[in-house]
Amino acid sequence: MTKHLEPEQRRVFDAAAALFAVLATPMRLQILSALCGHEKSVSQLLLGIDTTQPNLSQHLAVLFKTGVLAKRKDGTQVFYRVQSEKAVALCRSVCTQIAIEMDEPDAVPDGQTLSPRVPVLA
């Protein structure tokens, strides 16, 4: 017999999964990294992120729609900035830990790593 989740637990897990789904693409992590500290226009983002404008705009729209980013329009340009500092802190923490594990594989004991043991296919 399986135990069913309480409605509040289910809502928490559903919300966490939704956030992880939004953040689960390398492109969106790059965007968040590029926007740490200050806002940028779409054209400024394109200078540092290797993608097309339509692809970038699609990812920006998802991040905006979910509340991770905020935007403002100035004439014909759209500027994006981080709205959810907590989402960025989560990404920064995970990415920093994985970078440490990749640079120093023996620094973290087995069973305490975040990075997957099997290669992730691109």
What's the CATH code of the domain at 51? 1.10.10.10
Q: How many domains does the chain have?
A: 1
The answer to the question of residue 31 being in a domain is: yes
Which burial class, exposed, middle or buried, applies to 35 when counting CB atoms under 10 A from its CB (0-12, 13-18, 19+)?
buried
Q: What is the spatial distance between Cα 60 and Cα 87, in angstroms, rounded to a whole number?
A: 15
The answer to the question of residue 44 being in a domain is: yes
The answer to the question of residue 101 being in a domain is: no
* Residue pLDDT, tens place only, 98-122: 888 888 877 777 777 777 655 555 5
* Residue pLDDT, tens place only, 60-91: 999 999 999 999 999 999 999 999 999 989 98
Q: What is the 3-state secondary structure (H, E, C) of 16-76?
A: HHHHHHHHCCHHHHHHHHHHCCCCEEHHHHHHHCCCCHHHHHHHHHHHHHCCCEEEEEECC
Residue with tokens 């830990």: 97
pTM of the model: 0.80
Give the domain extent around 41: 8-83
The answer to the question of residue 74 being in a domain is: yes
